[in-house]
Structure 1
Amino acid sequence: MEITELTPAERRVRDAFPLGAGVDFREGEDEDAASGAAWGPERTLRAEVLRDLLLDGPVREGRIAGLKVWGARITGRLDLQYGTVAHPVRLRSCHFEEAPDLYGARVVALVLSDSVLPGLTAGNLRADGVVRITCCRIRGPVRLQGAKLSGAFFANGARLGTPGEVPEEAVLQLNHAEVATDVWAPGLVAHGKVHMNGAVVRNQVNLNDAELNAPGATALHAEVLTVGTDLHAMRLRARGRVNLGGARIPRQLNLAHARLSNPGGRALRASSSVVGELWLREAEPIEGSVNLRRAQFDLLHVPPEVWPRQVQTDGLGYRVLTPHLPAAQRLPLLEREPDGYLPHPYEQLAAAYRTVGDDGAARTVQLAKLRRHRRTLPPYARLWGFLQDAAVGYGFRPMRAAGWLLFLLCTGTLAFALHRPPALKPSEAPAFNPLFYTLDLLLPIIDFGQEGAFAPHGWYQWLAYLLIAAGWVLATTIAAGVTRSLNRQ
């Protein structure tokens, strides 16, 4: 394109390009690019002029060329598809009439901060530096799927989509992208779905104070996301499902003070994920169900009141639970498993209490597990379970058996002291001792020679039968409890 064909505004940009100098068309630094459709020719640039500059613009020896513009109205489509741009592209506070197309392009850096765009197509983009859409307002989709960025991706304060609408296509598409440093998007507002499934971020993802609005759909789709350090989403507001199934986050998944809401559906899915620490400290109660099946955590910092009414925990593994609370406050969560009784969640909770040395809480969890299991048994087995529970708490309350034995021993001793049973063979019978006679009846494997020598009558005979039966029940349940304790150790 000849210079004579350029408008004065375009000539200013062309002259500044080889020097890497900036051209500012704004009338004030607080000017809003949303009004750019009304800007006149004095600040209008044709997309084809910018394309020619970026692909084949003049350079000056000793200077670093680059496109650096503020406050321009850009008409036409900036088409850099599959192009190689050896200069940084900085188009800040600009108003684009059409969505730029950088599919498959290679750029040094792409900065569109504070601009207004109908969309951005940059799938399979290769960027040697940063890509910024900071504080941009973009109505259509931002397509960065498969992009490889040597720098960070900045979307802090960006506004994507149209309020009140959930388009079929995701408004931010980073699926299968590779980002060498960070995805930095605190304060992002997305009216529509955000896709990051299969993405690899070498450092951290920051979604602090973000708002993701996709009611009835998936607000954040980040299956198999791989993060180098942390995923921070403090004070996140998500309307719709947050899907982190199979994600790999070695340090923190921080959802402190967050609000996850998807009533009637899945609010959080992190099944099969591997995370260092999950933080839901001071988060609002989750609206919707949670799926943590087969997930692995080193630490879970989740107050009980945050969990919703339905939580899937089968196969969930964790080492430490914080804050440390009595078992009675943690057990209700295990009742919320939609598939009914599952033994693993109880074993995992008991193991977490043993890890921090709280054996009493671990025994409480094991006892609750057996009581829950009892409800699934047929009536005859349930009766035997009630007997074991009442006698020794399934072996987890051994002092209860001692109490029962002492009560029965005192009862029998007093009864037989007041009414001595007659001897079967008076000439051969030993001297009667009500204490040892009662012990002979209660303890099935001990023989003091009293039980076989005396035979009570009437209701005392029924008392003897009761002591013999109670002794067998107590002995059996104590043996089962001891065996269970040895197996745990």
Structure 2
Amino acid sequence: MEIADLTPAERRVWRAFPRGEVVDFRRSDDEDAEDGHTWGPERTVRAKALRALLLAGTAEEGQVAALRVVGARITGVLDLQYAAVEHSVRLWGCHFERAAILYGAHVRQLNLSHSYLPALEAATLHVEGVLRLTDCRVPGQVRLGGARLSGALFLERARLGDEDEDPDDVLHLNHATVDDDMWAPGLTVHGQIQLNGAKVSGTVNLDEAMLINPGGTVLDARSFAVGTDMHAVRMRTQGRVNLRGATVAGGIDLTGARLSNPGGVALRASSVIARELWLRNAPRIEGTANLRRSQFELLHATPDVWPDAVRLDGLTYNALAPHLPAKQRLPLLEREEDGYVPHTYEQLTAAYRRIGDDAAARMVQLAKQRRHRTTLPWYAKLWGHLQDVTVGYGFRPMRAAAWLLTLLLTGTIAYTLKQPPALKAGEAPAFNPLFYTFDLLLPIIDFGQEKAFTPQGWYQWLSYALILAGWILATTIVAGITRAVSRQ
């Protein structure tokens, strides 16, 4: 293309390019690129003119060539498919009438901030530096699957997708590689973000993002890898967040995040490996939360953040924050969709033992036995109730002592009031109601009283009851102590 074939607006761009100068077509600093279809010919640039310049333009001696255009209306299709662009590209606040095609292109820097694009087709794009889509408005798809960015990806306050259209894969980053940060605070997406198999070496920032896809998936980040932290503070979602198999070297911060997908899964963070998961000060999750088989060093969440249905089987953590009594943590384990899951109780017990709260650990183990009892046949439930009432399954040892003292006092008083006759007169030792009751209650102790005296009437039935209670109590105490020792 010759310069003689260019419009006056295009000549300005071509003359500025060799020196990397900025061509600013704006009439005011607060223009909205979405209204760019009304801009006149004095600020209209054909896409084919920009393509020709990028592929054939050269730098002026002693200068660094670059395409730096602000506030232009770009007509036609900017087609740089498979192109190798050696210069920095900055099309700031521009209005693209057609979708830009950068499939397989290789560029040095690409800045489309504050621009309006119907869509962006840039799968397998290679950017040697930074890709900026800050404050962009893209009602269609942004396809960056398999892209390789040597710098950061900026999407601050970008608005992607159209709330009046059927939701689609609005931001497609599957298997993309970002060697720096993915910075997207304030991002708004109507549709789905796909990050399956993607890798970000730095930080992912989705603070105060709004992801909307009711009844569908808003964030699909299966096997997503993050080199440092993933921030989503005060993020709001309407749809499923899927982090299955994600690996985050640092923490996942969902402080104040509002996760909502009524009737479905709101948070799927199964098989996730991260140092920390923060749900501090977050409202109650609307929908199911799935954390099965995930691994965290710290899980920071208060009980009121969890929904009515959870899946926690295989979840492991070293510590819980904030530190709360066991009675506040236990109701969560009863919301398990898979029913009774012993592993969840063992994990909570281990967390309390690590901080030296043995009383809380015993309470969790007692709750585990009671929950397990609900799964047993009636006769096993009966035996379980007996162990619970007598010794609290071995986790309430003082309860056994109380039962022993009560029965001992009952027998002592009864046989003081009515001494049983001697079995063999003249050969029996002096009667002692206390030790006689001891003989009846404790099968392994023999003071010689039980064999020497034989009660009559209802006192005989009392002796039978004390013998039976002693055997039951001794058996449950041994079973409970054995269980408690094995837990230690």
Following the alignment from structure 1 to structure 2, what is the Cα–Cα distance between the partners of residues 195 and 318? 28
The amino acid that maps onto 1:479 is: V
SS of the aligned residue for 2:248 comes to strand
1:353 aligned residue: 352
Alpha carbons 1:166, 1:191 under 8 Å: kept? no
1:69 maps onto 2:77 in alignment:
no
1:309 maps onto 2:308 in alignment:
yes
SS of the aligned residue for 1:384 comes to helix
1:147 aligned residue: 147
1:196 maps onto 2:195 in alignment:
yes
SS of the aligned residue for 1:68 comes to strand
1:56 aligned residue: 56
Following the alignment from structure 2 to structure 1, what is the Cα–Cα distance between the partners of residues 482 and 420? 37
Unaligned runs of at least 5 residues, structure 2: none
Equivalences for 1:401-440 in 2 at 5 Å? 401-440=400-439
The amino acid that maps onto 2:191 is: G
The amino acid that maps onto 2:163 is: P
SS of the aligned residue for 1:298 comes to strand
Displacement of 1:36 after TM fit?
Answer: 0.9
SS of the aligned residue for 2:146 comes to coil
1:462 aligned residue: 461
Alpha carbons 1:121, 1:142 under 8 Å: kept? yes
- Report the CA distance shift for 1:164/1:431 in structure 2 as closer, same or farther (over 3 A): farther
Following the alignment from structure 2 to structure 1, what is the Cα–Cα distance between the partners of residues 383 and 236? 50
Alpha carbons 1:164, 1:191 under 8 Å: kept? no
Displacement of 1:61 after TM fit?
Answer: 2.4
SS of the aligned residue for 2:102 comes to coil
2:244 aligned residue: 245
1:162 aligned residue: 162
Alpha carbons 1:166, 1:214 under 8 Å: kept? no
1:135 aligned residue: 135
1:12 aligned residue: 12
Displacement of 1:343 after TM fit?
Answer: 0.7
Displacement of 1:118 after TM fit?
Answer: 0.2
Deviations 1:330-389 (A, max 9, x none): 111011111211111011111111111111011001000000111111111111111100
1:180 aligned residue: 179
SS of the aligned residue for 1:52 comes to helix
Displacement of 1:163 after TM fit?
Answer: 2.0
Following the alignment from structure 2 to structure 1, what is the Cα–Cα distance between the partners of residues 249 and 421? 77
2:336 aligned residue: 337
- Report the CA distance shift for 1:398/1:164 in structure 2 as closer, same or farther (over 3 A): farther
Displacement of 1:193 after TM fit?
Answer: 0.6
Deviations 1:200-243 (A, max 9, x none): 00011000010000001000111111001111000100000000
Following the alignment from structure 2 to structure 1, what is the Cα–Cα distance between the partners of residues 415 and 103? 97
Displacement of 1:63 after TM fit?
Answer: 1.0
The amino acid that maps onto 1:59 is: A
Deviations 1:99-156 (A, max 9, x none): 1111111100110000001000110011100001100100110000100100000000
The amino acid that maps onto 2:16 is: A
SS of the aligned residue for 1:187 comes to coil
Task: Give the alignment's TM-score, normalised by structure 1.
Answer: 0.99
Displacement of 1:423 after TM fit?
Answer: 1.1
Deviations 1:278-316 (A, max 9, x none): 111111111100111101111111111110000000111
Following the alignment from structure 1 to structure 2, what is the Cα–Cα distance between the partners of residues 166 and 136? 20
RMSD over equivalenced CA pairs, Å = 0.8
- Report the CA distance shift for 1:193/1:313 in structure 2 as closer, same or farther (over 3 A): same
The amino acid that maps onto 2:124 is: N
Following the alignment from structure 1 to structure 2, what is the Cα–Cα distance between the partners of residues 486 and 339? 29
Alpha carbons 2:247, 2:273 under 8 Å: kept? yes
SS of the aligned residue for 1:10 comes to helix
Displacement of 1:40 after TM fit?
Answer: 1.4
Alpha carbons 2:81, 2:103 under 8 Å: kept? yes
| Residue range with higher mean Cα deviation, 246-255 or 178-187 | 246-255
SS of the aligned residue for 1:116 comes to coil
Task: Give the alignment's TM-score, normalised by structure 2.
Answer: 0.99
Unaligned runs of at least 5 residues, structure 1: none
1:260 aligned residue: 259
Alpha carbons 2:192, 2:219 under 8 Å: kept? yes
1:104 aligned residue: 104
SS of the aligned residue for 1:171 comes to strand
Alpha carbons 1:166, 1:193 under 8 Å: kept? no
Alpha carbons 1:208, 1:236 under 8 Å: kept? yes
Alpha carbons 2:216, 2:240 under 8 Å: kept? yes
Following the alignment from structure 2 to structure 1, what is the Cα–Cα distance between the partners of residues 456 and 371? 43
Following the alignment from structure 1 to structure 2, what is the Cα–Cα distance between the partners of residues 313 and 20? 57
User: Across the two proteins, how many residue pairs are aligned to each other?
Assistant: 488
1:33 maps onto 2:33 in alignment:
yes
Alpha carbons 1:242, 1:267 under 8 Å: kept? yes
Alpha carbons 2:387, 2:480 under 8 Å: kept? no
SS of the aligned residue for 2:299 comes to strand
SS of the aligned residue for 2:169 comes to coil
- Report the CA distance shift for 1:306/1:166 in structure 2 as closer, same or farther (over 3 A): farther
The amino acid that maps onto 1:80 is: L
